[in-house]
Structure 1
């Protein structure tokens, strides 16, 4: 295991080679574990949650007026469905909060379930804070407080929202926002933006670059620790081969990609979002219809997902994503919902459901959302310093767990 000093020295050396990504050999001091949980009542909720979230993304791109965004909500707020939680300490007492890890937002807040109790490290700024996610919302007061991600990832002064009201976050305590800091614009009264946890770890000298890397292990079990959030670089034990980087687009962690299925081009050089807070893989309506037609899938009214027969599953081809000039393939097994969890979404235990859903009509910059069903098959890197997103294969890319 590296000491803190030797680790920082290694990062400094790596930074001298500008074209190379920062790769840090495995050390637990800069990482925190992630636990997967389900909060599913039906497949319709599974699909609707992602669509509501997508609508909030689109609305925010058009206006930063939070009241106007709420007014535009076409789909009622639904609970987060499949989430990854990190246990985060706040305040002098290090009270632990179970926070959703979200690349699609940037505010960190607590109080949805476990209530916040101010301590000797707490400062009430008096400013109001409010964020709408589509699949949830909260409002409350901003505090500045100490935030402990791990023993070596301590932020002495972090803006946190303390919820006086929240909706859609039952079973969790709030959000750890690791999106770009632009997404905090106009969320706190009296200031334009607030620094994210990644920003503060960097400015306070804890990490050498504003980089967050995420790894998931596909699993068919609920409430299992199967992920890692790594700050300041990447964990070389979690990926195989090289990391491919592509430029970030838009306010979110946006990328451009081309998607093909067999000989069919599903999407060509379109822009969308990489989002840990979205469960499914969403394609624009045109691309989705091409995919479904190529497979022959049919809509399942009970779940809201599309299903296929065993023969169709056996004939499935890879769904290939070309990102930054590199092909990343979702294998047939990666394109289906874990069959052991079929009944959890109101489906039949013997059915086979696809994890690709219809995002609806095309809208520039929002032609797809690569949700966690995509991200759990690849290592992902969110690099604020160089304004880019990276992907690499892992030992689980071709897993057959589903």
Structure 2
């Protein structure tokens, strides 16, 4: 396994900007850099001691499918596009020898007729990393054929996997270079990862073990949010592996539909909102015109057709809200549907998805929710902040 990241790197990387800011309802964050801290007096001295923040502009993919940053890797400074993911702790890139460097985007068959042009746009070549493209690439024992000491792999919540070996190389991010960055080199990827056009994933979850990109701290940018609405709450995850908050109530149009406490994972690497199908069905039953898609399996074996998919009117006016830290945080109605997947009778796929792998006390808040708030994540204080964007 790779060497542990140094303390100096953790402090430096802890300054990276990774807030999410919604500037309008259906679009996601701007490409401006965002910096994450809290405007409380007890944090002032920490900010004063911290190194200058690393500004990491985010690229918005489609209807907030993912948030992507461009980084440079290796001696040549080769560019890689990576998903910025607060839901996992690992950083990995595709191997230059992977047989999966050719991008393949396969849309669920249920609406393939709507997205042929979109699929063609996804074709192309991934960037890969390795000794051929970088003279500073170090894979340690990988040079010895049959040596298993350097094997690496990671499995994501929905079942996708990245498998390969551990390595080190120079990382340049936001204009700052780190000479001995540990990361995973994926020779094989499966599941949803195969459909992505990005070259890897950079995780910002708080766990300290593994080949992890460390999470964020540093100062917020008051120009981007209404300071009077700022609320900070403790990370609710006792394991320290996720950014998690307590949701006391979930409302539809002001009516409390779920009043039992939910553990909500804050995940920029997921485009939708996910929960146990029973919870999702209870919520969506309050939205006029909602239809549940019958359970079954699509031809790709994905989660489509598990009974967790719903359709709702593309122009729904129902408002979803989550109570966090004693305040209601609204999701604009236009963010509840996938507008580019308009089906017959003005119906769209719901951005609230039922996943049977979730317990009845857990929910995942992806970009559908996060683009409606200003989010800050503080590794030092283990606090999560929410505010209304300007």
With normalisation by structure 2, the TM-score equals 0.65
Partner residue of 1:175 out of 176, 192, 201: 201
The answer to whether the aligner puts 1:93 opposite 2:93 as a matched pair is no
> How big is each residue's C-alpha offset from its partner over 1:214-258, in whole Å with a ceiling of 9 and x where there is no partner?
xxxxxxxxxxxxxxxxxx332333222343111112221111102
The answer to whether the aligner puts 1:252 opposite 2:242 as a matched pair is yes
Q: Comparing both structures, which one devotes a greater share of its residues to strand?
A: 1
Distance in 1 between residues matched to 2:44 and 2:256, nearest whole Å: 34
Aligned residues of 2:331 and 2:368 also touching (Cα < 8 A): no
Unaligned runs of 5+ in 1: 1-6, 40-80, 183-192, 199-209, 213-231, 396-402
Unaligned runs of 5+ in 2: 1-14, 16-34, 95-100, 102-125, 142-149, 299-303
Kindly indicate whether structure 1 or structure 2 has the higher relative contact order, using CA contacts under 8 Å at least 6 residues apart. Answer: 2
Q: Match for residue 62 of structure 1?
A: none
CA displacement at 1:130 relative to structure 2: 0.5
Distance in 1 between residues matched to 2:388 and 2:280, nearest whole Å: 24
Alignment root-mean-square deviation, CA = 3.4
CA displacement at 1:195 relative to structure 2: 6.0
Aligned residues of 1:23 and 1:235 also touching (Cα < 8 A): no
Aligned residues of 1:85 and 1:99 also touching (Cα < 8 A): yes
Aligned residues of 1:239 and 1:392 also touching (Cα < 8 A): yes
> How big is each residue's C-alpha offset from its partner over 1:245-276, in whole Å with a ceiling of 9 and x where there is no partner?
11112221111102122323324221121111
> How big is each residue's C-alpha offset from its partner over 1:137-181, in whole Å with a ceiling of 9 and x where there is no partner?
211221122211121x32232111112222324422111111122
Q: Match for residue 316 of structure 2?
A: 313
CA displacement at 1:135 relative to structure 2: 5.1
> How big is each residue's C-alpha offset from its partner over 1:18-50, in whole Å with a ceiling of 9 and x where there is no partner?
1569889xxx962222223359xxxxxxxxxxx
Aligned residues of 1:281 and 1:370 also touching (Cα < 8 A): yes
Distance 1:269 1:86, change over 3 A: same
Between 349-358 and 253-262, the greater mean CA deviation after superposition: 349-358
Q: Match for residue 341 of structure 2?
A: 342
Distance 1:235 1:22, change over 3 A: farther
- Partner SS state of residue 265, structure 1: strand
Q: Match for residue 128 of structure 1?
A: 151
Distance in 2 between residues matched to 1:255 and 1:16, nearest whole Å: 19
Distance in 2 between residues matched to 1:117 and 1:19, nearest whole Å: 41
Written as runs of structure 1 = structure 2, the 5 A alignment for 1:3-402 is: 17-18=41-42, 30-38=54-62, 82-111=65-94, 113-118=126-131, 119-126=134-141, 127-133=150-156, 134=158, 136-151=160-175, 153-167=176-190, 168-169=193-194, 170-182=196-208, 193-194=209-210, 196-198=212-214, 211=216, 232-241=218-227, 242-250=229-237, 251-257=241-247, 258-261=249-252, 262-296=254-288, 297-300=290-293, 305-309=309-313, 313-314=316-317, 316=318, 318-337=319-338, 339=339, 341-343=340-342, 347-348=343-344, 350-360=346-356, 363=359, 367-395=362-390
Distance in 2 between residues matched to 1:373 and 1:15, nearest whole Å: 26
Q: Comparing both structures, which one devotes a greater share of its residues to helix?
A: 1
Aligned length: 291
Distance in 1 between residues matched to 2:376 and 2:284, nearest whole Å: 30
CA displacement at 1:391 relative to structure 2: 1.3
Distance in 1 between residues matched to 2:313 and 2:185, nearest whole Å: 48
Between 283-292 and 368-377, the greater mean CA deviation after superposition: 283-292
CA displacement at 1:16 relative to structure 2: 9.6
CA displacement at 1:284 relative to structure 2: 3.0
With normalisation by structure 1, the TM-score equals 0.63
